[in-house]
Structure 1
């Protein structure tokens, strides 16, 4: 579960939906988790917001391999996020370390920051992270 928190934070990246014109600050773009180990590109997927891993550091890739995922790059981390009020979305986040999807919410906390929360057990065990928008992928 070493990568779990970075992955949960990825959920924060997917905060969007079909009503893109009504969003004050778009969530589509490139986002980096708080530890700087995973970057996700978010965008539209059939009228909902989704996010795919586009960069990961060596440790995140090793953790994924240990969990049975050979290629972390390209994995759909954030799936089917729909608007749930101003600056709030819900969907699901995939945790590669565990190999399962969990309920997730994204809360926009500024033009360049999102809070992603993932809940493991019916909303009783939740973790959250703040993801930052980035202009380009980290070197590495």
Structure 2
């Protein structure tokens, strides 16, 4: 037999779950939800996403930590800030885009997918060869 307290708790948890689901669905349905400033997992880079000249999605490095800048210089990249990291992403479903990611310390671009997992997180993956040997990172929105 369910007590009043248990019934109230169950009702409250249902409302919270519905609210989170609705918030996440709204975030991934809005085409501009991925536009903004995002930080890599280590907090050493910030990328501003927005439309490219051709209407696809791009992302440019707008801030880099001193260590990230030193690592880039060691890899032969004089100026990390201003580098276009995300290139030519096109929508391929709700909350998902496909394009290319530039890896500065390798000096190469790879096929990539961005999946928005919540209003504040992106999962960005890059693959070496035809969708194999992939690596992904979770990036967080910067306020």
**TM-score when normalising by structure 1:** 0.78
Which residue does the alignment assign to 2:5?
A: none
Superposition pairs for residues 94-113 of structure 1, below 5 Å?
94-113=102-121
Which residue does the alignment assign to 1:88?
A: 96
Give 1 or 2 for the bigger CA radius of gyration: 2
Whole-Å separation in 2 of the counterparts to 1:24 and 1:75: 24
Contact 1:30 1:134 in 2 (8 A): yes
Unaligned runs of 5+ in 2: 1-28
Contact 1:91 1:105 in 2 (8 A): yes
State yes or no: 1:34 paired with 2:41: yes
Q: Which 4+ runs in 1 deviate beyond 6 A?
A: none
Q: Hey, which of these two has a bigger chunk of helix by percent?
A: 2
The Cα shift of 1:24 comes to: 6.0
Which residue does the alignment assign to 1:67?
A: 75
The Cα shift of 1:121 comes to: 2.3
**TM-score when normalising by structure 2:** 0.77
Higher RCO structure (Cα 8 Å, ≥6 apart):
1
- RMSD over equivalenced CA pairs, Å: 1.2
Whole-Å separation in 2 of the counterparts to 1:100 and 1:36: 22
Which residue does the alignment assign to 1:3?
A: none
Superposition pairs for residues 1-140 of structure 1, below 5 Å?
23=30, 26-45=33-52, 46-135=54-143
Contact 1:25 1:111 in 2 (8 A): no
